[in-house]
């Protein structure tokens, strides 16, 4: 709890107070260098150590196997929307072999469960013409809030260069409760920007996982990419100007980033530093298993408060409700602005729903305490008593 506010922001989001205090204490003199982390060279021994330690701690937290590389990239989730297209088309081209005779045009499969996966698919369409929308919940149902059963998915099978999905839709509050099962020869690509580090999952099921830092990892500026090593192998054909396939811009190239240990250019050093403190905080708490327990309790209490009330409603089907972003509406929608005003007066900030959907949204990432969630629930009950 920083001063007297509860920050329910969707990202940038609350950072653990102890992390901010440590960053403050170390701001003028990082690790006895006499300089701030902002002033150090990214080629210095100190930064190299920090870079490696931050990767090691993330590997421990998520139990990342040795055949995966951790990359520290820039440009946020939005940049990854294009990076995955370039990199995984290159990997697919390599997989098909140098003497491929037919035209190279594999489908890219997208599961669209909310506004972020929709944006990712739109961005991919700018770069490539064979995008297969496996399903788009908004087109099927009129709005996001559910995931169709597997029998209804129109996957391309082994032909696809990858299958893409967003594990937790930050705006719509839709979270997968399982890892989608796909053809094992096809890499699964996942946007975990808003739920990475919130619960345990099996990294080995994925080809690529990426996440912007500004929710559960730390401060904006850093995007963490976890990529399986075999996807970094580059076909010679791909680098041939006459192949008809565009070469990958270096800053988007996972292989370049891996070869340079994420030090190809000047990295977002402050953001990497804050992440290292967040990872240490998580390890001290007992790792992902411990935070996962608290996250479940927080979400259960909040959804229970919504479901047991006469005025609040959740727009999301129970089985796919997000444990990180909890959107809800008030039956009489005109009361929502009064609710938001009242919440701000009590120090509960950034509860307004995303501008594209309206309503209220409580983002309850790792750094939001149970106490903060209980405070919100009390306010919700009080508000209901006043209006019932
Ligand atoms: N994916 C998800 C799930 C997100 O929540 C966000 C941002 N809120 C993005 C992608 C885009 O991230 P950025 O703003 O870092 O580009």
CATH at residue 189: 3.40.640.10
Q: Nearest residue CA, atom 3 of ligand 1? A: 193
| pLDDT in the model for residue 234 | 72
C-alpha neighbours within 13 Å on the C-beta side of residue 80: 29
174 touches 168 (CB < 8 A): yes
Q: Which helix (H) or strand (E) holds 25?
A: helix 17-26
Whether 176 maps to a domain, the answer reads: yes
> Residue 352 carries which DSSP code?
B
Say how far apart CA 17 and CA 318 lie, in whole Å: 32
Q: Is 170's C-beta closer than 6 angstroms to any atom of ligand 1?
A: yes
Q: Nearest residue CA, atom 5 of ligand 1? A: 170
365 touches 359 (CB < 8 A): no
* Residues 166, 108 share a domain: yes
Examine the fold and report which residue of 282, 306, 334 is the final residue of a domain before the chain moves on.
282
Of 212, 271, 323, best ligand 1 pocket probe by most atoms within 8 Å of the beta carbon:
212
Whether 2 maps to a domain, the answer reads: no
Whether 6 maps to a domain, the answer reads: no
| pLDDT in the model for residue 101 | 84
3-class SS at 68?
Answer: strand
* Residues 216, 136 share a domain: yes
* Residues 294, 207 share a domain: no
Q: Is 322's C-beta closer than 6 angstroms to any atom of ligand 1?
A: no
Of 194, 214, 216, best ligand 1 pocket probe by most atoms within 8 Å of the beta carbon:
194
* Residues 226, 313 share a domain: no
Examine the fold and report which residue of 232, 257, 282 is the final residue of a domain before the chain moves on.
282
Which residues are the active-site residues? 116, 191, 215
Which of ligand 1's atoms lies nearest the C-alpha of 80? 16
Output the CA–CA distances (angstroms, integers) from residue 164 to 104, 132, 212, in the order listed: 19, 10, 16
pTM: 0.97
Q: Token pair 């013409």 is at which residue?
A: 129
Examine the fold and report which residue of 251, 266, 282 is the final residue of a domain before the chain moves on.
282
> Residue 79 carries which DSSP code?
H
Say how far apart CA 147 and CA 71 lie, in whole Å: 30
| pLDDT in the model for residue 191 | 99
Backbone angles phi, psi at 4, to 5 degrees: -110, 35
Q: Nearest residue CA, atom 2 of ligand 1? A: 193
Q: Evaluate the omega torsion of the peptide bond into residue 12 and state whether it is cis, within 30 degrees of 0.
A: yes
Structure tokens at 176: 């997968």
Q: Find the 316 Cα to ligand 1 centroid distance in Å.
A: 20
Which of ligand 1's atoms lies nearest the C-alpha of 166? 3
Q: Is 109's C-beta closer than 6 angstroms to any atom of ligand 1?
A: no
Q: Is 167's C-beta closer than 6 angstroms to any atom of ligand 1?
A: no
Structure tokens at 141: 């149902």
> Residue 89 carries which DSSP code?
H
Which residue segment(s) compose the domain that 369 sits in?
287-387
Number of domains in the chain: 2
> Residue 113 carries which DSSP code?
-
Of 10, 13, 78, 174, best ligand 1 pocket probe by most atoms within 8 Å of the beta carbon:
78
Alpha helices in 63-178 (DSSP H): 76-96, 115-127, 137-141
Residues of the chain with pLDDT under 50: none
Q: What does the pLDDT look like over 65-117, one tens digit per residue?
A: 999 999 999 999 999 999 999 999 999 988 888 788 888 999 999 999 999 99
Whether 199 maps to a domain, the answer reads: yes
Q: Is 117's C-beta closer than 6 angstroms to any atom of ligand 1?
A: no
Q: Which helix (H) or strand (E) holds 254?
A: helix 254-259
Which of ligand 1's atoms lies nearest the C-alpha of 192? 3
Q: Is 164's C-beta closer than 6 angstroms to any atom of ligand 1?
A: no
* Residues 270, 381 share a domain: no
> Residue 37 carries which DSSP code?
T
| pLDDT in the model for residue 270 | 98
Q: Find the 123 Cα to ligand 1 centroid distance in Å.
A: 13
Output the CA–CA distances (angstroms, integers) from residue 227 to 97, 136, 286, in the order listed: 21, 26, 25
Cβ count near 154 (within 10 Å): 9
* Residues 219, 165 share a domain: yes
Cβ count near 139 (within 10 Å): 10
The CATH number for 320's domain is: 3.90.1150.10
Query: 356's torsion region: left (phi>0), alpha (psi -120 to 50) or beta?
Result: alpha
Q: Which helix (H) or strand (E) holds 328?
A: strand 325-330
Query: 11's torsion region: left (phi>0), alpha (psi -120 to 50) or beta?
Result: left
């Amino acid at each position: 709890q920083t001063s007297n506010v509860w920050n329910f922001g969707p990202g940038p989001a609350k950072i653990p107070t102890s992390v901010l205090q440590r960053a403050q204490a170390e701001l003028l003199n990082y690790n006895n260098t006499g300089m701030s982390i902002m002033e150090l060279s990214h080629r210095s021994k100190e930064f190299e150590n920090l870079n490696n330690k931050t990767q090691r701690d993330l590997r421990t937290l998520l139990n990342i196997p040795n055949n995966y590389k951790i990359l520290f990239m820039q440009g946020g989730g939005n940049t990854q929307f294009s990076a995955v297209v370039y990199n995984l088309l290159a990997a697919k081209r390599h997989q098909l072999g140098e003497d491929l005779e037919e035209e190279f045009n594999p489908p890219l499969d997208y599961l669209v469960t909310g506004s972020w996966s929709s944006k990712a698919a739109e961005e991919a369409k700018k770069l490539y013409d064979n995008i297969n929308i496996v399903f788009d919940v908004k087109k099927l149902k009129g709005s996001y809030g559910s995931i169709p059963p597997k029998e209804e998915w129109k996957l391309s099978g082994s032909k696809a260069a990858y299958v893409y999905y967003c594990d937790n839709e930050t705006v719509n509050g839709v979270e997968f409760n399982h890892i989608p099962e796909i053809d094992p020869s096809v890499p699964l690509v996942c946007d975990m920007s808003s739920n990475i580090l919130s619960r345990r999952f099996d990294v080995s099921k994925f080809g690529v996982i990426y996440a912007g830092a500004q929710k559960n990892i730390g401060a904006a500026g850093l995007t963490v990419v976890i990529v399986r090593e075999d996807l970094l192998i580059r076909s010679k054909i791909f680098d041939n100007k006459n192949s008809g396939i565009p070469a990958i811009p270096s800053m988007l190239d996972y292989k370049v980033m891996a070869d340079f240990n994420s030090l190809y250019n000047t990295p977002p050093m402050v953001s990497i530093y804050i992440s290292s403190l967040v990872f240490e905080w998580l390890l001290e708490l007992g790792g992902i298993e411990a935070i996962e327990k608290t996250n479940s309790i927080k979400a259960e209490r909040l959804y229970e408060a919504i479901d047991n009330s006469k005025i609040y409603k959740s727009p999301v089907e129970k089985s796919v409700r997000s444990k990180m972003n909890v959107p809800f509406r008030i039956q009489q929608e005109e009361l929502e602005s009064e609710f938001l005003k009242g919440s701000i007066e009590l120090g509960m900030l950034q509860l307004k729903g995303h501008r594209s959907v309206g309503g209220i949204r409580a983002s309850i990432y790792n750094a939001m305490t149970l106490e903060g969630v209980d405070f919100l629930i009390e306010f919700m009950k009080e508000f209901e008593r006043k209006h019932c």
